[in-house]
Structure 1
Amino acid sequence: MAADEPTILATSGGLRASARLDWEVGPLTRHAVDLAGVTGRAPRVCFLGTACGDDRRLAATFFDNAWREGWTGSHLAVLPMPNVEDVREHLLSQDVIWVWGGSVAGLLALWRLHGLDTVMREAWQAGVVLTGVSAGSICWHAGGTTDSFGPELRPVTNGLALLPWSNGVHYDSEPARRPLFQSLIADGTLPTGYATDDGAGLLYRGTAMAGALAERAGAGAYRVARGPDGTATEERLDVRRVG
């Protein structure tokens, strides 16, 4: 089973606090799994914690969540070496690929080193739903803002560019994100893009933005473009609540 067309749900959410686990799956991630349209069997969901150095505790918590959600869970690690024999075959056999946050710069470097940039494009084109949070949101875009290099945010301009847009994450919770994202678009460092508050996500069908979603009341999503006078213009998008 695959989505009807290439589908990405890029988020600043998809997880929430849990009374029993370190964290638990949130409505945005459940929605990403629903988008795969799986019937008659458990959805196959693969977790990638590359941006956090393939932390085994994250993977273990994911498997606890997958069991609770009724998914067939797997994870792909590249450190210290790939944990599956054939990375391409494994990812193309999934219904959903879920990418965790952390260092987007490290994620992109490791993915390119292992050829995952090419495999991710192939999976996307084949209808595997791609989703993720923070670094796992920016990576699908042309670029965005990152703290991969230190506490002071910097631009990242070498995203996979499955989507031709830039991406801003944690727009409401990290005060430096919004002004930097706007200034980088205004000066042409980043192309026109979309940003999400914590708890919001962007649904793309093909390369077109098909809708903004939120799992938290008040969470917003925004389109930021370079205006004719060289400044950034920001438009708040209509958001549909999920979960």
Structure 2
Amino acid sequence: MTVAPEPRLALLGGGFSTDDDGLLDDWVLGHARAARPKVCFVPTASGDAPGYVEKFLDAYRDRACEPSVLHLFRRELDDEGLRALLLTQDVVYVGGGNTANLLAVWRAHGVDRLLREAYAGGTLLCGISAGANCWADGCHTDSFGPLAHLADGLGILPGSVCPHYDGEPGRRGSYRAAVAARALPAGWALDDGVGALFTRGVLTEAVTRSPRARLHRVEPGGGDGVTERALPCRPLVAGGGATAPE
């Protein structure tokens, strides 16, 4: 009897859209349930930007996988076709852009429900920036211009997410303030270059392609209303694998 993989989700602080070394992309593929996985890129948060799509295809067409793209701004699939596409993927990779717009479009097309079903069936869900934000209960986002909190995610990953923790001015202070005020629940803050794997909502692996990048656990409490812990990450190395945690 074949046992379905446990539900897993990966938050990415990099990948093909920002890095040239391919380390985080190889790490993602290494966690797929198939030797030659089907990988669907979902660029909804960028409005299906053609350049973004081409960058994905350029990065993945020569890897040991079967890449595809889900377009929703010029949707070509009916409901049955959309369901068939998403539920047969081994990896769904969500791109960056506007988190609030992403969630609204997904809900209009029923993609949110299909992704929950795919996740329960063992499809690895992952993404960068908005594509990391969307899975949690809430997130830290610039979807509305200034940095703000959005307590309206899919809730597949308990808690909140903050991307670009060390990469954009104001991110760290603003996210910490939101958690301290309980505008967002406790959560995960990703420095650029980090990857974090969750199995059934529990952190099971953290990796980094950058010596200084870390995954941070941020929770309410402490002297200034918030506590923050930098978690050990295994450095990724070219050629596959990783060294010991730092």
Q: Answer yes or no: is the 8 Å Cα contact 1:163–1:207 preserved in 2.
A: yes
Q: Structure 1: which 4+ aligned runs deviate by more than 4 Å?
A: none
Amino acid at match of 2:14: G
Change (3 A) 1:189 1:3: farther
1:157 Cα shift?
Answer: 0.8
The CA deviation at 1:3 is 6.7
Written as runs of structure 1 = structure 2, the 5 A alignment for 1:20-35 is 26-35=22-31
For residue 197 of structure 1, the aligned residue among 186, 191, 197 is: 191
Relative to the length of structure 2, the TM-score reads: 0.89
In the TM superposition, residue 88 of structure 1 has moved relative to its aligned partner by 1.3
* Counterpart Cα distance in 1 of 2:77 and 2:90: 17
How does the TM-score come out when normalised to structure 1?
A: 0.90
Task: State the match for 1:20 in structure 2.
Answer: none
SS of equivalent to 1:15:
coil
The match for 1:111 is 106
CA distance in 1, matches of 2:115, 2:14: 21
- Which of 208, 215, 235 matches 1:221? 215
Q: Percent identity?
A: 37
3-state secondary structure, aligned to 2:216: strand
Q: Could you tell me how far 1:25 is from its partner in structure 2?
A: 7.1
Structure 2 unmatched runs, 5+: 238-246
Matching residue's letter, 2:29: V
**Residue 85 of structure 2 corresponds to residue 84 of structure 1:** no
Q: What is the CA–CA distance in structure 2 between the aligned matches of 1:213 and 1:3, rounded to whole Å?
A: 25
Q: Deviations over 1:197-220 (max 9, x none)?
A: 000122100111122211222111
2:142 is aligned with 1:147:
yes
Superposed CA RMSD:
1.9
Structure 2 residue aligned with 1:238: 232
137-146 or 66-75, larger mean C-alpha shift = 66-75
Counterpart Cα distance in 1 of 2:235 and 2:117: 30
The 10-residue stretch of structure 1 (126-135 or 64-73) with the greater mean CA deviation from structure 2: 64-73
CA contact (8 A) 2:136 2:154 kept: yes
Unpaired stretches in structure 1, ≥5 consecutive residues: 18-22
Distance 1:230 1:122 in 2: 40
- Counterpart residue identity of residue 85, structure 2: H
Worse-matched range after superposition: 174-183 or 8-17? 8-17
Report Cα offsets for 1:109-130 as digits up to 9, x if no partner: 0001111111111111100001
